[in-house]
Structure 1
Amino acid sequence: MLLRQGRSGETGFGLVHVLQDHNLHEESIAAAIVNNVAPIARRDGRRDYVLEGRFAGVGIMRVRVVEEPRPEPESGDTESLGVLTAFCEGVDRCPDSVNETIEASFEG
């Protein structure tokens, strides 16, 4: 799945949006996608991948990745599949411990 460069801000999307606006790293996005047996289909045609876990200093939290399976005109490419956004549910920015816990699981 393509992780588009994107942009930050109110109409943000892609990697820049996820890193700057939601404080979520690429490894966290990958973990949410890889650890899903099947994504959740949405009415708007997008798909959600959800990773729920216990994170140090935070407790139980969900990481949600939203995939756009159609070309995104604003992305500047013609790829048909890509990550639109990713975030921690219930907070504006993901706590650093979410990324740290997920990255430590890759190392172990």
Structure 2
Amino acid sequence: MKTLRMSRLAIGAILAATAIVATMTPTAIADPSTPVSRSTATEPTLRWLSQQEYTALVGVERAKNPHIAAAPPGAHFAGAPLDPPQHWYDIDQTDFDPSGIEIPTRHGTADFGYQHYAGPHNLTSQKAISAAYRSRPFVTQGAHYEYLGYLTFGDTLIAQIHTIAQLATSTDDRKFTTPDGKYIGTITAYCEGVTRCPDIVNSEG
């Protein structure tokens, strides 16, 4: 009799548990077929980097031997080319290097400044120049300073910008002296390895 009572209790417990499971909402039981949501990785974009920033991105070894690749289809950023002023001494932009040196880029002439490099080297982007001047100079000889900047897509190098600046108030030949007492600034700028920069360099002013 006691055994029969125990069996009835066990059956009752099983039926109660079955009823509870049957009344559970669908969200209470995980569906193994439901895919787990994953965060979408951010797509790489074109951006200008200083030499230090580029080294931090790709590592010292890759930075020592940069490999330049074509920009992938669709890579771009908004902006417009610089509309320069008219006098050689007018300043198109001003940058500061990591030491705090103020480096103007002047409208210039056929010998130096924006007029010297923009057309012949197909380089009108202000951000390209700024990226180089955010770097530490890799050449310093008196008033002659040289800098490097990098255009990247993710960790792919699209272009390497080389700028040369005159950190003096006159050009070496003394033909030009700044009326504002500031440095002559950018003498030239160009893309390493090519005569003319790829158009993608100028898609952002």
TM-score by length of 2: 0.40
After superposition, the C-alpha distances for 1:41-83 in whole angstroms (9 at most, x for unaligned) are: 344641111013336xx95431011111122133352545211
Contact 1:6 1:75 in 2 (8 A): no
Distance 2:128 2:192 in 1: 14
After superposition, residues 81-92 of structure 1 pair within 5 angstroms as 81=183, 82-92=185-195
Runs of 5+ unmatched residues, structure 2:
1-102
Distance 1:83 1:2 in 2: 6
After superposition, residues 12-91 of structure 1 pair within 5 angstroms as 12-25=111-124, 26-34=126-134, 36=135, 38-43=136-141, 45-54=143-152, 60-70=158-168, 71-72=170-171, 73-78=174-179, 79-81=181-183, 82-91=185-194
Distance 1:98 1:62 in 2: 10
Runs of 5+ unmatched residues, structure 1:
none
Contact 2:106 2:114 in 1 (8 A): yes
Aligned counterpart, 2:196: 93
Task: Measure how far apart 1:84 and its partner are.
Answer: 0.5
TM-score by length of 1: 0.70
Q: Is the alpha carbon distance of 1:93 and 1:44 closer, same or farther for their aligned partners in structure 2, counting shifts above 3 Å?
A: farther
Contact 1:4 1:75 in 2 (8 A): no
Q: Greater relative contact order: 1 or 2 (C-alpha under 8 angstroms, separation 6 or more)?
A: 1
Share of identical aligned residues, percent?
31
Task: Measure how far apart 1:20 and its partner are.
Answer: 1.2
Contact 1:63 1:87 in 2 (8 A): yes
Aligned counterpart, 1:4: 106
Q: State the number of aligned residues.
A: 95
Distance 1:41 1:27 in 2: 21
Give the root-mean-square deviation of aligned CA atoms.
2.5
Task: Measure how far apart 1:24 and its partner are.
Answer: 1.0
Select the structure that is richer in helix. Answer: 1
